[in-house]
Structure 1
Amino acid sequence: MPERIQLRRTKGWRKPEGAIVVSRPSRWGNPFRIYHGHSLIGPRWGQARGTWGHINANACIYGYVTTSGHMDIQAAVDQFRLLMNVRARDESDRLREWLAPLRGHDLACWCPLDQPCHGDVLLEIANFSTESEVTA
């Protein structure tokens, strides 16, 4: 079963053969991120839906969602899952095509393995076989 790998910059470490990098700025990178623990940075919703590749940080909105409370990485992962659900609903064939290279491969990102990561969402949906399972 494919799993998430944490990328490292330590001497001698190598990405496992066959693993695919899904961090920013790959085409599968999460366009949503947390800024100073209180703001979610991301593209305008229409841009996020229409872009299937990397979205440059300069094209994103600071304060996409802002709160006086603490916002953790789970909020960015939740937005990514929502984007995938919308894509599954509106463009399921294109989503399957976009996910196809990931199917059956380990996915590598910089997120610590004990923290939420959009890579977990990609692992989950890339390895499901039907649209109904993607949107569950």
Structure 2
Amino acid sequence: MPAGAVYVGRGSRWGNPYAVKREGGFMWVEPDGKHLVCSTNREENLRERRTEAVAMYSDLIERVSLDTVDPKIRHDDLGVWDGRIKQNVRAALAGKDLACWCPLDQPCHADVLLELANDATTASAAVTASDAPSVALAAPPEGNGTRT
């Protein structure tokens, strides 16, 4: 892993709980996947299921930030996600390079995190929030905010 990069794959606080599963010619996203697909085009099917898993992750972050799910959702027993999730992503990951196991040419939840971490709207919300994180939101320290 490159120096200064933050690991965001499964097992980390930021890992995607939605995983692509395969058995024989079938692929699906677990848990709560909407499509069980059997296809002879494994590459296209895999890309579609990864896209679905990333969309589900993005939706989860949105629902948590709007408090439309349990406001203190346990995520992989490695931290509590709450209504400040977007500000917490910004505080922890802004300007950082993010590392995951997904191939760089495939959809990955790290792209969702990069977008949130480096979004000016999220940054201003964190600064103006009454319970803003104690982490300084100054200029990004190292890295260029990419997925590695």
2:59 to 82, 86, 91: 82
Deviation at 1:39, TM superposition (A): 2.4
Cα gap change, 1:68 to 1:28, in 2 (>3 Å): closer
CA distance in 2 between counterparts of 1:100 and 1:118 reads: 18
Does structure 1 residue 18 correspond to structure 2 residue 9?
A: no
Q: In 2, Cα distance between the equivalents of 1:119 and 1:110? A: 10
Q: 1:68 to 1:39 in 2, by over 3 A?
A: closer
- Deviation of residue 121 (structure 1)? 0.5
Please tell me the residue identity of whatever aligns with 1:88. Answer: S
Report percent identity of matched pairs: 40
The number of residues matched between the two structures is 99
The equivalent of 2:37 in structure 1 is 69
Task: Name the TM-score, length of structure 2 as normaliser.
Answer: 0.57
CA RMSD of aligned residues (A): 2.6
Unaligned runs of 5+ in 1: 1-14, 43-63
Q: In the aligned structure 2, how far is the partner of 1:72 from the partner of 1:94?
A: 25
Equivalent in the alignment of 2:28: 39
How far off is 1:92 after superposition?
4.4
For the residue of structure 2 that corresponds to 1:111, the secondary structure is: coil
1:123 and 2:114 are equivalent in the alignment: yes
Per mean C-alpha deviation after superposition, the further-off stretch among 24-33 and 95-104 is: 95-104
Question: Are the equivalent residues in 2 in contact too, given 1:87–1:95 (CA < 8 A)?
Answer: no
> 1:105/1:68 Cα in 2 relative to 1: closer, same or farther (>3 Å)?
closer
Following the alignment from structure 2 to structure 1, what is the Cα–Cα distance between the partners of residues 21 and 95? 33
Label 1:99 to 1:31 Cα distance change in 2 as closer, same or farther (>3 A).
farther
Normalising by structure 1, what TM-score? 0.62
Indicate the structure (1 or 2) with the bigger Cα radius of gyration. Answer: 2
- Name whichever of 100-109 and 122-131 sits farther off: 122-131
Q: Which has the higher contact order (CA 8 A, sep 6+)?
A: 1
Provide runs of 4+ in structure 1 moved above 6 Å.
none
